[in-house]
Structure 1
């Protein structure tokens, strides 16, 4: 005999309460049996989500680190999260125990927004290993050396564009940032200005970077029906944004890949090779199934190279420009070092790098002062672990707060100021402290393009310091135009300038 309608309703009403009770009981028992890292007290069901600034979570995490230490525990709705706030702890877990900490958590926004084509978000397994191997073959430290002449050439071309059209400096930074990766990955030479493929990258990232974080993805994980709402319904904007982002990501991935395929023969004839063309030629005789799997991994490697190059390098150069405006004494000292070592009859090259320690310290301070990816990309534990007496369960999301590391006042006194001298000893030599060791990530999931990125940043910064001067823009009456730096938020923090906030003037003419 079936229960009555009222009986069924009663059962449906009791089920969620029972589920909540059972889940809470399991957590209570586990918490009594294991010592978790300290952290703020979570609310039932909601956890600590209401106390977190989800637009700039790194700021909240840094505040909590002051209260709970370098390793603390939070709960965001149903997700357990451990936040690391020191380089030492990050190295101990993410580097030395990488077998446990190399996987990625499930982010409900990755697939709908088209970001599954970026292998940085792919789980630790065979697909990820193949994509990273293809990437590593092109951008590992020794291979990246061959890009240096191109990086210097593109940096000088960027200067010509800056001098000719200073107001659109962001566009020039973006073209420079993408040029090396586009050439190395697809054999594509970017146009000096308004390149269509660079514009595709910019459009594709405009939406996705804001949502591919654990804090933002939790909303869609908790309410997956948001992707099924009709377009006219309130709350359907997330579905529309996902559709737009997915279309843009597909275009950004497919168009340059097709270009590489179409130009394989002619580029090979003139001795110009690319990661995509070389690998496609290598698998021509494989069966269709193997070829499809390989092409999928290759597309992921190629797309990741372009996104990584565009986003991090462009944002870092914007931060550098801001620092030069706000700290003119730093700019003058850097220019004086270039003049004394290189002179004014030529422009700096990579052969000068070891003789320019202050320029190196400016690069390091640029990376530290406003880290572009303040929380990196989240890891997840694949098994239970214990560190310093604290229990970290399997399936815990692990985040490294690079912003918190850069704001450690014991390590970096007056941390909010731009002070390159903090990386020089009393004799003017570089110290062992290099923010590149933590801003590019840790362990097996560290940024595989960091060597090429470092060289691109150095070539751009030293060439700009040798050729142009950054200062605040002035109005028609000669008064400085006041502006307040603003940053976007999401996976990265991206500096937004009014195109009339900065003025660039030519300081030498030996281009």
Structure 2
């Protein structure tokens, strides 16, 4: 026992020695480059010897801490953890200049060991390093999910939205569950040609399990193993049994989502019983003479991440819209008047109505801005030394873009904490004001990392919002004592997605006409 203890102590001393040498070397190398170029590293919290700013970055809601530093250090904040340079971009101008205009050197990803190695996200496009595999997956997704291609799915989105509203009529207390069901029904039919079960669908349930499991893992890139990759050689259980169990379960779910729906669809294609889908289109276009599928792994990954990403992001966005309507009833009433004046109670909205309803467009823009799905975008990895405004950004720096701060910048959005769609309208209230920053420029990522599924997510959200406004009043519920139940507007945040905590909402049909239109539309689409 004593020998084991001494061995452990010796290993700890050796590890500490190597760590000190590594940090000393890194800091000396950075200092030499700074001096040679007459530049400086961005200012930031002072930190401590060796560990640097390890304790300055919280485990949760990092974007709020990053935003608070803007007042002291400006738009660009420099940090270091164990000698690893970290740069926080706290303004849309800095983000545009670097991640968009210089995307050729800012589009890599850090290793993100916690997610990629331990939790099984190594095949996912958002986590991939800059290279051939990333380009291959993006090419596949762009071919099927561009603005033109996505039009063929507008009718499906409309059908599933109306089905969602009919289910709300029957059981409005299950709105959170029904929202997840609608998102799953949409994306699974589009991606795999799969029709979900009436209740307890296994694929929809897996996405819910994934969302629940991912939340405790925190923001991507914030785990100690991501900040100091040498820790990757340690077993995950050293960070806690619960943590180890979660990453193991997440990896199992990710492995299943990658291959199971793919092979089920291929089996249906072999018998001719499949429904045309993104996957069947990609497989047929990549079928080789011997029957094999070229770029099969990339096709598996591209369709799986389309399913996962859309199933989580669109759910969060629609829940945010519902929270906003509950919290800002005057906005809801105005949006409903716009829908009523346009539709005249004669029918339900179609996607083709979108260009004629600019105020509804403003509501969507404010939904993206008010409570962003990704308040802190996934970190980028700088591929070579770069200079910006007298600063030297060393190669290998982690670059965090603070989307939350951009959405809450009072210069762009006065009274940012409030849900105000009118901020996007022109003075006459007749069209979107092009001079106001469009939240889509931030909400879907930047440069060569912009989300390839953005057109699908945007279209799905529009038809859902327009239909809900036409058919339901959404309000805060009241308890048995007549007291209003206020929703909790603090969000839960996982490595990639922020979403509302479970909340109650009263959904009341706006009229018998709305009820009749819903029932009639679902019978027609049956």
SS in 2 for 1:215: coil
Q: Does 1:71 align with 2:72?
A: no
Shift of residue 323 of structure 1?
A: 0.6
Deviations 1:317-344 (A, max 9, x none): 1111111111100000000000011111
Shift of residue 391 of structure 1?
A: 1.3
Shift of residue 20 of structure 1?
A: 4.4
Q: Does 1:180 align with 2:186?
A: yes
Q: For the residues of structure 1 that align with 2:18 and 2:228, how far apart are their CA atoms?
A: 23
SS in 1 for 2:59: coil
CA RMSD, 1 decimal? 2.6
Q: Does 1:373 align with 2:374?
A: yes
Give 2:276's aligned residue: 273
Give 2:177's aligned residue: 171
Contact 1:315 1:495 in 2 (8 A): yes
Q: 214-223 vs 378-387, which deviates more? A: 214-223
Find the partner of 2:262 among 257, 260, 279: 257
Find the partner of 2:119 among 113, 120, 126: 113
Aligned length, in residue pairs: 497
TM-score scaled by length of structure 2: 0.88
Find the partner of 1:162 among 156, 168, 173: 168
Q: Does 1:213 align with 2:220?
A: yes
Deviations 1:385-426 (A, max 9, x none): 112222111111112111000110111111111111111121
Q: Does 1:392 align with 2:397?
A: no
Q: For the residues of structure 2 that align with 1:450 and 1:444, how far apart are their CA atoms?
A: 13
What are structure 1's unaligned runs of at least 5 residues?
none
Q: Does 1:85 align with 2:90?
A: yes
Find the partner of 2:491 among 487, 495, 498: 487
SS in 1 for 2:332: helix
Contact 1:35 1:391 in 2 (8 A): yes
Q: 114-123 vs 16-25, which deviates more? A: 16-25
Q: For the residues of structure 1 that align with 2:259 and 2:267, how far apart are their CA atoms?
A: 12
SS in 1 for 2:122: helix
Q: For the residues of structure 2 that align with 1:354 and 1:345, how far apart are their CA atoms?
A: 19
Shift of residue 49 of structure 1?
A: 2.4
Give 1:430's aligned residue: 432
Q: Does 1:351 align with 2:357?
A: no
What are structure 2's unaligned runs of at least 5 residues?
1-5, 519-526
Shift of residue 169 of structure 1?
A: 0.9
Q: For the residues of structure 2 that align with 1:286 and 1:395, how far apart are their CA atoms?
A: 43
Give 1:464's aligned residue: 468
Q: For the residues of structure 2 that align with 1:287 and 1:386, how far apart are their CA atoms?
A: 51
Q: 481-490 vs 104-113, which deviates more? A: 481-490
Find the partner of 1:246 among 244, 248, 251: 251
Q: For the residues of structure 1 that align with 2:509 and 2:209, how far apart are their CA atoms?
A: 31
Q: Does 1:47 align with 2:52?
A: yes
Q: For the residues of structure 2 that align with 1:144 and 1:387, how far apart are their CA atoms?
A: 38
